[in-house]
Structures are given as C-alpha cells and as structure tokens.
Structure 1
C-alpha cells in the first residue's frame, strides 16, 4: 500500500507540472508565435522546458513504485489540472461544462485506482519481448501514419501508442537498472533505453503532426490511447492484474467510460476557448465605411497657387 501511495503522489505532482508547462507554452505561443529561434531566446520557454523535464522524471519515479495500470491513467489528470490553471492565467472562471468534465474524470480515475492498486512492479520485459513489442508498435504506427493520411485522429492515436509503449519500456529500464542482483547497465537496459528514446521522440513528432488538424479531438485521442497501450503491455507481459476478479473488471470498464467522457469533455471545451482566444481580429475591408466618430484627416495649408494636401496621421 505504501508503494501505491508513493506512485499516486508522484503521478499527481507530475500531472500538475505537465499542466503548468502546457499552460505556459500555450500563453507564450499565443503572444509570440511558434518560431523556434524566438522561443529559444525566451526565459519563459526554458522555464516550461524545465517543468516538462521535472514532470518526466517524476513519472519515471512513479513507474518504479506503481504498476502501469495505475500510473498511466493518472496522466489524464494533466487535463484536469490544466483547466483551472489555464482559467486563472486567462483571468476567467471555470465553466460549468469544465466542472462536469473534471467530475467525470475524477470519478472514473477513482474506479480505476481501486481496481489497479497493487504492489510495486518487479517484472520486466526480456530483450526478445521488448524487441517484439517495439516491432509490433512500429508496424501499427506505420499503418496509422501512412503517407498521404490526413493529419488528425490517426496520427494522434499513433502518438499516444508510441508514448504509452515508451512508458512501458521505461518501467523495464527503471526496475532492471535498480535491481541490485545484476549489473547496473547491461545490454538489455541499454537497448531498451534506446527504444524508449526512439518512441518518446516519435510520439512527440506524431503529436505535432496530429495537431495540424486541430487541438481538441487529437489531444483527447493521445490522452486516451496512451494508457490503453501501456496497460495492455502490463496486463499481457508484466504480470499485472486488476483487483476483484470479474467485479473488478466491470468496475474498471465503468471507470474507463467515465474518464473517457470527462477527458473528451474537458479537451473540447478547454481547447475551443484557447482557439477562439488566439484568433486574430477580423480585418477591415477596403470598402468598409470608417467609424462615425473617427476624426477627419487634417488639411495641411500650402502656399499660394498650391493645392491643399491631406496630412497622413
């Protein structure tokens, strides 16, 4: 139970850090655009990068103390934390729809936590298993993000799967590297660590592509497919299981449905407001009549025999 509480606490702090970084990056992008060189010269950008790095380290630590079926669903709390943080930074109130989404997400996560609670993980993937998972994942990503596919939900699903598999492989690296019965770095740890880096980078690039088609639905799909992919690996290959037998599976299914509805609701409302807030003001057409209260142009006096000239304000 102590290990479970540690995993939950680390996951909560990680989610808040991810949410704060996301809010900071969104605000910075809205003010200064997304130019890479411009962002690199901004202190706020580096602060958000530090938050992201800290959140990732906390997530890795949580995977040491809790199973994948427990830690990965808690990642959805990033959206729950981002809603009030974003509202506070934007100087607005959280809407009733956002509160409903938060309540649904928390209720679903509570059900998942009851069934997913378990001892600290001690099983790891063997090198053949890790390579098999990597190969199957790469094939699935290739199908979802094939050339010519319009950026959107398929790329978002591929991104979530890549990130979820990276987390599953990270748990193997963490447990194996801290196992004092063997060497700190063996060929399996090094190989799996390289796979983690590859899938983490691939997930990031795929999410960037997915967001070309919008933010709401792709982000929801990333958030949902990530824990599904990680939990499948945990249940199938790492000996993890849900508590309570058939009743536990039913409770977990109900919790997953509630959390899914809450995440989709939060994502839709939150990003719709961000998109509207960052839209440029409508341009004034050339033949639009000037406002009534606008001052007439000044007339500059000229010398005798010269025509008056309108002064440019």
Structure 2
C-alpha cells in the first residue's frame, strides 16, 4: 500500500473514529461531573467522587480506545493530517452532549468550533515542523518556565473569575499540561526504544509524566464541571495541546518550521481564526449558560440549546 493510500484507508478513518471516541467520552465526563459535588480545582477528591460513577469509568475506557486509534493514525499518516482531524472531537462532543441532554445544537457553538479547527489546520500545514531529536535541548528551561508561569496564571484567573472565563482558564491550563505531557512521553518512548523497558525508569522524565499527566486530566475534569457547555473547554484543550507541542518541538527538540514572510503572515491569520473561535465560544457559552440557568425551571424545554 502506498503512503497516500495508507493515509486515506487507515490514518483518516482511525483519526476520525478516535476523535469521535474522545468527543463522546468528553461529553459523558462533563455530564458526570455535574452529578458530583462541586470540588475545588486540582483537588483529587473529584476523581474519587467520579470513579464511583460507572458511566464515567466507561468513558475512561473510551478515552483509551481513542488514544489507541490516535497512535494507529500517527503510525500511518503525518501529524499535519492527523492532528486537525482529532480536533473534530469538539464537534462530536457537542453533538453527543446535545443528544444526551435532548437539546438542539447551537449554530454559533459549531461555528466557533469550526474556526478553531480550521485555524489549527492552517497553522500546522503552514508551519510544517520537521527534523529534530528526542533529546531535550538546554533551551528547554526558559520555555518550561514560561509554560509553568502561564499555567499558574490560568489557575489564578480561574480562582478569581466566574463563568466561562473560569472554564477557558482551566481549559487553557489543561491544554498546556497535555502538550508538555505529550512531549515528555516522546522522550520516554525514545528511551524505551533505544534502551529497553528498564531505561525510562532510570531517568526523571518518566516520573515527571506520572506527576504532570494526572494533573492535566484532573484539570480537564474541573473545566468540564465548571462549564455549562462542553464545546468551549474542549475546543481550547484540543487547540492549545498541539500548539504547545509545536513550540516544544522547536525549543526542546530542535525541530525547524517554515518561516518565510508569507508563511508567517498565514500563521498570523490562522492564529486570529483560532482566537476568534475561542472568543466566540466563550461569549456564546456565557450567553447560553445564563439561558440554561433560567431554563432550569420547568417549561420551554424545546427551546433550549446545547453544545
């Protein structure tokens, strides 16, 4: 089978089914977080409460299926093809959440999700990161400090602002942590491939993954619990994750990207599309939050929207 043939017969279906798995799991997890007490950010008690929900446990299994399909897609197709397809999980999640809640899918939510997906696709296609190694570069320290400061700033914002601003801040922190976790996992995978199963246990990176990864997952559950809608949080997480990955690839692993003036201009437009999509999702999410809170009383069930 040719490379192009493998893209469309293996990579694309695997990525789309994986995205559907992620979307369905996220919608179920968001719904489950509403059925447990509202718990403070990064408090592990939230996971102890959720693990008692069989449907939440099933959703974790669905995430594992999605991750497995993502690995298959990446094995047969390039990152530039697979990652934008995985962002369609936002749309799958919105549709599934609407179906679970027996509500109509909001068109502006879909538009915001499409803007994020299109902007990310364009950015990755223009940047085309290539080259690099699996060895951390000394330049990793400044970027690590910057990403850590950004995460702390998001957590502080989440503690001071209510509504969708809090949701977006938590989701942004989650996306940053997911991107860092993916980069560290790349190092662990290389250590395993070159040194055998015992090699990762001899380096600090594996233990960092074991600490950082669960924190990101816990933050994602906090974001889902705080938001009335699934789309804003998931759109931010799935968009920020690969963008952080590109920054890490350049600064930590020595990857190179296209940097001609035309490409930089296109990337700026793509970034505006991403920001515009997130702003639209935030504003529309806050509007629908107020509508749904008023609609929690009996009546007007058919006029409610969800996404």
TM-score by length of 1: 0.66
TM-aligned CA deviation for residue 251 of structure 1: 2.4
**Greater Cα offset, 166-175 or 1-10:** 1-10
Partner residue, 2:16? 12
Q: Does 1:48 align with 2:63?
A: no
Partner residue, 2:245? 230
Alignment partner for residue 174 of structure 1, among 172, 184, 189? 189
**Greater Cα offset, 198-207 or 128-137:** 128-137
Over residues 105-129 of structure 1, what are the superposed CA-to-partner deviations in whole Å (9 max), with x where a residue is unaligned? 443244234325566x762133867
Q: Does 1:202 align with 2:212?
A: no
Change (3 A) 1:74 1:128: farther
Alignment partner for residue 192 of structure 1, among 197, 205, 223? 205
Alignment gaps of 5+ in structure 1: 284-313
Over residues 131-186 of structure 1, what are the superposed CA-to-partner deviations in whole Å (9 max), with x where a residue is unaligned? 7765664455445546995263555433322221111112222344334xx43442
Question: Aligned pairs, how many?
Answer: 279
Q: For the Cα contact (< 8 Å) 1:60–1:174, is it kept in 2?
A: no
Q: For the Cα contact (< 8 Å) 2:32–2:55, is it kept in 1?
A: yes
TM-aligned CA deviation for residue 72 of structure 1: 5.5
- Secondary structure of 2:267's counterpart equals helix
Q: Does 1:245 align with 2:260?
A: yes
For 1:188 and 1:135, locate their aligned partners in 2 and report how far apart those are by CA, in whole Å. 25
For 1:22 and 1:44, locate their aligned partners in 2 and report how far apart those are by CA, in whole Å. 12
For 2:189 and 2:75, locate their aligned partners in 1 and report how far apart those are by CA, in whole Å. 6
For 1:72 and 1:2, locate their aligned partners in 2 and report how far apart those are by CA, in whole Å. 17
Which structure has the larger Rg? Answer: 1
Partner residue, 1:76? 87
For 2:248 and 2:222, locate their aligned partners in 1 and report how far apart those are by CA, in whole Å. 26
Change (3 A) 1:25 1:188: closer
Change (3 A) 1:176 1:63: farther
**Greater Cα offset, 47-56 or 20-29:** 20-29
Over residues 14-47 of structure 1, what are the superposed CA-to-partner deviations in whole Å (9 max), with x where a residue is unaligned? 32211101222334455x4458677545432221
- Secondary structure of 2:88's counterpart equals helix
Which structure is higher in helix share?
2
Q: Does 1:150 align with 2:163?
A: no
Alignment partner for residue 85 of structure 1, among 92, 96, 103? 96
For 1:249 and 1:187, locate their aligned partners in 2 and report how far apart those are by CA, in whole Å. 37
Partner residue, 1:25? 29
Change (3 A) 1:261 1:219: same
Change (3 A) 1:171 1:11: farther
Aligned positions of 1:61-140 closer than 5 A: 75-117=86-128, 123-126=133-136, 137-138=147-148, 140=150
**Greater Cα offset, 58-67 or 44-53:** 58-67
Alignment gaps of 5+ in structure 2: 38-45, 299-307
Q: Does 1:254 align with 2:269?
A: yes
Indicate the RMSD between aligned Cα atoms, in angstroms. Answer: 4.3
TM-score by length of 2: 0.67
Alignment partner for residue 265 of structure 1, among 276, 280, 287? 280
For 1:233 and 1:257, locate their aligned partners in 2 and report how far apart those are by CA, in whole Å. 21
**Greater Cα offset, 191-200 or 217-226:** 217-226
